[in-house]
Every structure is written in C-alpha cells, then in structure tokens.
Amino acid sequence: MKVFVIGVGLIGGSFALDLKSELDKVEIFGIDENDEHLDKALELEIIDQKAKFEDLKKADLVYLAIPVDASLEVLPKILDLVNDNCVVTDAGSTKEHLCEKVAGHPKRRNYLSGHPISGTEYSGPSAAIHGLFRNKTNIICEVEKTAFKLQEKALEIFQAIGMRIRYMDPVSHDRHIAYVSHLSHISSFMLGKTVLEKEKNERDIFDLAGSGFASTVRLAKSSPAMWTPIFSLNKKNVMETLDEYISNLKHFRKLMEEDNFEEVFNEMERTNHIREVLNGINQKEETKILENGK
C-alpha cells in the first residue's frame, strides 16, 4: 500500500508510524512545504521517501494533516490528482467549511472527512509518537458521500491502529468541538497570558506553580499556526462558547464579591458532576473495547 502523508508533524507523523507498525507492505511518502520537516521525518524513519503532489496519482491512501485553512486549498488539489481507487482522509479540527469546499468536486466520493480526537501540545516530526491514536475516537462526517469500497478501506486502517469511530454531521461536529476542544485551548492560552503578565512584576510566581497550574496551562504550548485558523473557521461556534464561559466567570466573580461563599461551594459541588459524566463515558468505552476484542 502506498500512503501519502501531507504534513509530517505530530498528527501526520504519528499516523505514519502507526501504519508502519501495524500494516504489512506499507510504503510511506511524505509531502510538506517545510523541507526540514521532511528531512527530519526521513531521519526518524517516519516516512520512506519524499514526494511531490504530482506523485499522488499512484497513492492508495492520502492522509491530510495540515492547518485547516490550508486544507481548504489543498484538498481540492489532491482530489484532482488521485486515482479512482484512492481514499483521501484528513485530520482537520473543523469540518463544515471543508465539506462545503469539495461538495461539488467530481471526485467527492474519494474523500472521507475525518477528525481524530487525539494529539498533544507539541508539534513537528519530532513530536510524532507510536500509539497516539489507540483507543481514541475518529469523528467521520458525511460518510454517505464516500464510495463504499473506499469507506471500507479507510475504516480497516483506522481499526488496525486502534481507533474507535463516531459518525456526525459537519455542523454538529463543529458546534460540539468548540465546547470540548476549542474553548479549552482558549482558556489555557489566556491563563498563560494572565500569569505571564503578572510574572513581569512578581518574579516568584512560577516558584509557586504546582501540578494544577501545569496541567491547566499545558495546552498554551500548542502551535498558534494551527489554532488561529481553527478559531477563524469556527468563529461563530467559538464565540458562542466564549460568551457562555465569560458569563459563568462573571457569575462566579459576583458571588465572591457578595461574600456568598455558600453558593460558591454549591457551584463547585454541582460542577463535580463532570467527574461522574467522564467516568461513565470511560467505562462505556472500555466495555466497547472489551466487546470488540472478543
């Protein structure tokens, strides 16, 4: 199988590593506008060869893992070049605009819109790791618009590297992901900004930072080059989540201003329910894994 990975950073590189460890007779070709990334990917044996877009005509699978704004321009170009038996999928964090972009493309049937709910705060080929996708969910949008045999090809590969599949329409995907991913990153970036600004006058502040701060601000180390286009393309949904988040922050501040710490306690206690929700989700997913393994 000839697999072309476009964007050999954390996501694309990890996908390539997993394919090489889980599939027989797979050859990985890398395409990236940053030639240093390609050299590093070769050095780390993430890819087997460098490639160019004109080589896509021999691809069996194309995995697009570049910033979402660039994907809007690159995906139609890929579809122009691939053969009829090639499946093209992606890792973009927003889906509505991308699906609209190729809705009328003659080879729309070759594209399977995907979003793996997986990653770290690091970027580049050196950040690629084995097993990044294992037991993670891959959101598939508009599966009915992909040729059935190409769906099967892609789903077999996702299963081989240990991914779970969830189907969703692009509009719902972008709305839900704004809450559980995009807002988390904004919160982390702004917490980091707040502390950095305070640290200018209080040099000891980082000496007091414990694991709670480190885990909360971890996402602020993520790539602005990747996240700015995400916020831009999902602006409507992100603004809605921000409005709700800011409203909750203002309410919490008001309770403190009024010395209403009984209600502060109640607010936090009610929010503790998130633990039960997350534990329930984890238990359900563990059951699915065990059932699938029988």
At 292, is the pLDDT very low, low, confident or very high (cuts 50, 70, 90)?
Answer: very low
Architecture (CATH level 2) of domain 2-168: 3-Layer(aba) Sandwich (3.40)
The pLDDT mean for the chain works out to 90
Residue range(s) occupied by CATH 1.10.3660.10 in the chain: 173-258
- Give the separation between CA 78 and CA 88, rounded to whole angstroms: 8
**Positions of CATH 3.40.50.720 in the chain:** 2-168
- The pLDDT, as a whole number, for residue 287 is 42
Percent of the chain with pLDDT over 70: 90
- List the Cα angle 129/90/286 in 5-degree steps: 60
Q: Give the CATH superfamily of 173-258.
A: 6-phosphogluconate dehydrogenase C-terminal like domain (1.10.3660.10)
Angle ∠(286,146,71) on CA atoms, nearest 5:
85
Q: C-alpha angle with apex 212: 208 to 215, nearest 5 degrees?
A: 120
Residue 285 has pLDDT above 60, yes or no: no
How do residues 79-118 score in pLDDT, each as one tens digit? Answer: 999 999 999 999 999 999 999 999 999 999 999 999 999 9
The pTM of the full predicted model, rounded to 2 decimals, is 0.84
* DSSP secondary structure code for residue 146 in this structure: S
pLDDT in tens, 208-244: 666 777 778 888 888 898 899 999 999 999 999 999 9
